[in-house]
Amino acid sequence: MEKKTLLVKEPGFYRLMLMLALPVIIQNMITVGVNIMDTVMLGSFGEIQLSGSSLANDFINLFQIACMGVGGGASVLSAQFYGKGDYNNVKKTVAIMLRVILSVAVVCMVISLFFPEELLRIYTADTAVIEKGAIYLRYSTASFVMMAITMTLTLILRSIHDVK
């Protein structure tokens, strides 16, 4: 009977895992750090401002989930094409993914810029919180396109082992 071990004894395995994981860890730490700084800064302004930003972040989180969904689906296809050496279809997959996610970003930007109060009214009826949340959402709108591109392309790059 063969004894199973939890440790991998292949030379270089842990070094490779660290090289792959470190950029992902750093990226996630930066994202969390920015969110923490938002909370700290807005918390010093008051409860209503903090509640407004939290309310606006509900919609921003939905947008991020859409980015992760589109990017995740495209990364599965890209990984399969990359594994077969079919680089032309990897490029096509990335191009389609970018078209889709940029369309989603533009729609979310239009909603956030022109209808933020109506959007936030879905979550609460508190007009003071909605007013502050609308301000936060309008400012956040500027990052939607870059957020869409970076989140989805990061997933693609991870799927083809290019995370350096």
Contact 93, 76 (CB under 8 A): no
pLDDT value for 159: 85
Q: What is the pLDDT of residues 12-58, one digit of tens each?
A: 888 888 887 887 788 788 878 887 887 788 878 888 988 998 899 88
Question: Token pair of 124, please?
Answer: 């609460």
Which whole-number Å values give the CA distances from 102 to 51, 54, 126, 152, in the listed order?
Answer: 29, 24, 32, 10
Contacts for 19-25: CB closer than 8 Å, 24+ residues apart: 19/164, 20/161, 20/163, 23/163, 23/164, 24/158, 24/163
pTM: 0.79
